[in-house]
């Protein structure tokens, strides 16, 4: 009786798991199928395309009107630079909130988190005017520049990331830094050589989450970038589906598949640190 009950429970759990896996894989398989469909339409689309071809992928790399490969490169560069700078800034801020005791510490933490509650759409006009004004003084940081877009992304990346990283720093014993300082290390050396190597998992988590958010961001990029060759992938892909009667879903799907590869590669490289970083940061806060 016990074995039968255990077997039934195992079958039930596996059935639920398979349903969720199928639910998650269905959109991916549908996009893959559409990318190989030469008809460039979703009418009659199925999981197994009829007369599959690589025409859509060829157009991704050969199109002169729409530089899709350049859009992917722009998104990757912006995402990598933004994520790296966010990790550096957040590491310093989270370490200060974790180790130091100063007036306004808790207020600063809650304020940085509260600011991120409001969606970016509410500040789109203000951000545009701010970047426009900065561009008049420093053209390299103005409208239609990747540097200006990166600067905007950095301004809104501290809240949740600082909380997440602070929780992980709280799990690292402060006695490690004290021992290093007794041996002659400066506070910065103790932070850089002791704390950061131990915090590698949470650094990887923040880097990946920020890269995904920046890579797929659309609203701010569409407002601040105005020339076609400087578009990010998320902004550029709208050209293929904005026409009601001439949408090109095949090329759109092919570009989406290729655009997902940087995230897949980055996730594969960082996967060893992701589980540890996501779980350990929630132990203390």
Task: Report yes or no: 130 and 151 within 8 Å, Cβ to Cβ.
Answer: no
At CA 117, angle to CA 108 and CA 107, rounded to 5? 15
- The CA angle 251-254-256, to the nearest 5 degrees, is 110
Give the per-residue pLDDT at 284: 43
For residue 86 the two structure tokens come to: 């966010």
Q: Is 119 helix (H, G, I), strand (E, B) or coil?
A: coil
Question: Environment class of residue 129 by beta-carbon count within 10 Å: exposed (0-12), middle (13-18) or buried (19+)?
Answer: exposed
pTM above 0.95, yes or no: no
Q: How many CB atoms lie within 10 A of CB 252?
A: 23
Q: Which tokens hold the place of 36?
A: 């190989």
Q: Kindly state the tokens that stand for 243.
A: 């026409």
SS3 content of the chain, % helix, strand, coil (to 5): 75, 0, 25
Reported as a pLDDT band with limits 50, 70 and 90, residue 285 is very low
Cα–Cα distance measured from residue 145 to residue 90, given in angstroms and rounded to the nearest whole number = 24
Contact assessment for residue 83 and residue 211, using Cβ atoms and an 8 Å cutoff? yes
The crossing angle, in degrees rounded to 10, of helices 68-99 and 200-215 is: 140
More reliable by pLDDT, 138 or 62: 138
Q: What's the pLDDT at 214? A: 92
Helix ranges, 173-248 (H): 175-182, 187-190, 196-198, 200-215, 219-224, 233-236
Q: pLDDT (tens digit, 9 = 90+) per residue, 226-236?
A: 888 899 999 98
Which residues does 268 contact at the CB level (< 8 Å), separation at least 6?
none
CB-hemisphere CA count at 13 Å for 148?
27
Integer Cα distance of 143 and 134 in angstroms = 9
Asked whether 266 and 211 are in contact (CB, 8 A), the reply is yes
pLDDT at 207: 92
Rounded to 5 degrees, φ, ψ at 209 are -60, -40
pLDDT beyond 70 at 57: yes
Give the pLDDT of residue 282: 42
Q: Give the pLDDT mean for 47-66.
A: 79
Copy the structure tokens of residue 90: 């957040």
Tokens of 227: 């020339």
Q: Is the pLDDT of residue 35 over 70?
A: yes
d(CA 271, CA 275): 7
pLDDT the model gives residue 283: 44
Selected residue with higher pLDDT from 2 and 130: 130
pLDDT value, residue 59: 82
The CATH number that domain 66-280 falls under is: 1.10.3720.10
Question: What residue spans define the domains of the chain?
Answer: 66-280
CB distance 281 to 200 below 8 Å: no
């Amino acid at each position: 009786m016990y074995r039968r009950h255990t077997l039934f429970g195992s079958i039930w759990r596996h059935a639920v798991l398979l349903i969720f896996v199928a639910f998650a894989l269905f959109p991916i398989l549908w996009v893959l199928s559409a990318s190989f469909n030469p008809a460039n339409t979703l009418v009659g689309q199925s999981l197994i395309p009829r007369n599959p071809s690589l025409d859509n992928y060829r157009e991704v790399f050969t199109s002169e009107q729409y530089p899709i490969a350049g859009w992917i490169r722009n998104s990757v560069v912006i995402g990598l630079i933004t994520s790296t700078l966010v990790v550096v800034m957040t590491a310093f801020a989270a370490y200060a909130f974790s180790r130091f005791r100063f007036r306004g510490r808790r207020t600063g933490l809650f304020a940085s988190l509260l600011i991120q509650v409001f969606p970016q759409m509410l500040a789109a006009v203000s951000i545009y005017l701010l970047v426009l004004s900065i561009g008049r003084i420093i053209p390299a940081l103005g409208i239609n520049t990747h540097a200006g877009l990166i600067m905007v992304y950095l301004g809104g990346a501290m809240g949740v990331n600082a909380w997440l990283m602070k929780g992980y720093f709280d799990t690292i014993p402060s006695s490690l830094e004290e021992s290093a300082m007794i041996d002659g290390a400066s506070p910065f050396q103790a932070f850089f050589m002791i704390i950061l190597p131990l915090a590698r998992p949470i650094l990887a988590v923040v880097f990946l989450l920020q890269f995904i958010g920046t890579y797929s961001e659309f609203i701010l990029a569409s407002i601040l970038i105005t020339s076609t060759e400087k578009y990010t992938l998320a902004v550029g892909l709208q050209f293929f589906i904005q026409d009601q009667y001439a949408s090109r879903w095949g090329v759109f799907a092919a570009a989406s598949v290729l655009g997902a590869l940087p995230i897949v590669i980055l996730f594969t490289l960082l996967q060893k640190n992701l589980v540890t970083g996501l779980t350990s940061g929630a132990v203390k806060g």
